[in-house]
């Protein structure tokens, strides 16, 4: 709804039966509301796009968004090592679930080659601004990458993964929506694979997989703030301003 057909802000909507799913969950409605689009997109990107496995090291570029948080949760629950990035230093603290948090200056390629040094350890997460770890070892090159910034950083992300690596582009947080001149032979490094995920075809089987996984791993979506329906204007303003970390939920009274 809102993508395949209109109706996101409608008081009443006639939804196709193929877009209505039964679920099994003990979560409150406010938590449930944060799951379908966000976790479906994360799930599809990680498992359909990236074929994610427990022994993978996953780079999530642009991780301080609802989709990024969901991807971190799922990947860590699967057993992966996760490297997460944000371009805002004040949001590094939000990436504590990742194994490594990077301050993204727009170019990460040299970090994984070990050419730049100087990191700060904070708890279990290393906050790095273009750096190797404090012990002098290079940051491990990821085997998979989820690109949420989009075309603005895609070329650099493709150069971050190792040979045989997969990159899935799903988001456009960088505000650049297309690549002006795309020569795949030169743009995509040898032995690296590029794919994407577009979340417009959910299915009951996929939703069952997501909720089964979340229930088994006891995952709950990060909700930033809940607004009553009478405050929907404030909710939209908060979304436009980008000052709330986590999913914004509008609660409809019975």
Residues of the chain with CATH 3.40.50.720: 27-221
Task: Please tell me the predicted confidence (pLDDT) of residue 249.
Answer: 92
User: 3-class SS at 76?
Assistant: helix
Provide the sign of the torsion angle of the four alpha carbons 238, 157, 138, 75, taken in this order: positive
Sheet (strand 144-147) strand order = 119-122, 125-129, 100-103, 81-86, 57-61, 144-147, 166-169, 193-196
Consecutive 10-residue averages of pLDDT for the chain (254 residues): 74 82 90 91 97 98 94 98 93 92 89 53 41 52 96 96 96 94 94 94 92 95 92 92 87 78
Q: Which CATH architecture has domain 27-221?
A: 3-Layer(aba) Sandwich (3.40)
Question: E strands, the chain, where?
Answer: 57-61, 81-86, 100-103, 119-122, 125-129, 144-147, 166-169, 193-196, 223-228, 247-251
Contacts of 162 (CB under 8 A, 6+ apart): 141, 142, 143
User: 3-class SS at 40?
Assistant: helix
- Count CB atoms within 10 A of the CB of residue 147: 28
Task: Please tell me the predicted confidence (pLDDT) of residue 16.
Answer: 82
* 58 phi and psi angles, rounded to 5 deg: -110, 125
Task: Please tell me the predicted confidence (pLDDT) of residue 157.
Answer: 96
């Amino acid at each position: 709804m809102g993508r395949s057909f209109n109706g996101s802000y409608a008081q009443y909507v006639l939804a196709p039966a193929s877009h209505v799913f039964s679920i099994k969950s003990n979560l409150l409605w406010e938590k449930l509301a944060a799951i379908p689009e966000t976790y479906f997109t994360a799930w599809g990107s990680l498992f359909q796009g990236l074929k994610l496995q427990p022994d993978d090291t996953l780079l999530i570029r642009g991780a301080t968004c609802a989709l990024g948080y969901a991807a971190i949760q799922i990947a860590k629950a699967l057993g992966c090592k996760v490297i997460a990035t944000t371009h805002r230093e004040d949001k590094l603290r939000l990436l504590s679930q990742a194994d490594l948090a990077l301050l993204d200056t727009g170019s990460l390629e040299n970090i994984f080659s070990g050419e730049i040094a100087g990191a700060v350890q904070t708890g279990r997460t290393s906050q790095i601004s273009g750096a190797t770890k404090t012990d002098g070892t290079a940051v491990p090159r990821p085997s998979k990458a989820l690109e949420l910034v989009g075309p603005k950083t895609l070329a650099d992300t493709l150069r971050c993964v190792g040979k045989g690596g997969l990159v899935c582009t799903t988001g456009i947080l960088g505000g650049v929506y297309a690549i002006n001149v795309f020569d795949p032979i030169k743009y995509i490094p040898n032995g690296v694979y590029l794919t994407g995920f577009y979340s417009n075809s959910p299915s009951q089987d996929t939703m069952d997989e997501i909720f089964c996984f979340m229930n088994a791993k006891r995952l709950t979506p990060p909700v930033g703030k809940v607004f009553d329906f009478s405050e929907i204007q404030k909710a939209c303003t908060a979304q436009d301003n980008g000052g709330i970390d986590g999913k914004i939920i509008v609660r409809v009274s019975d």
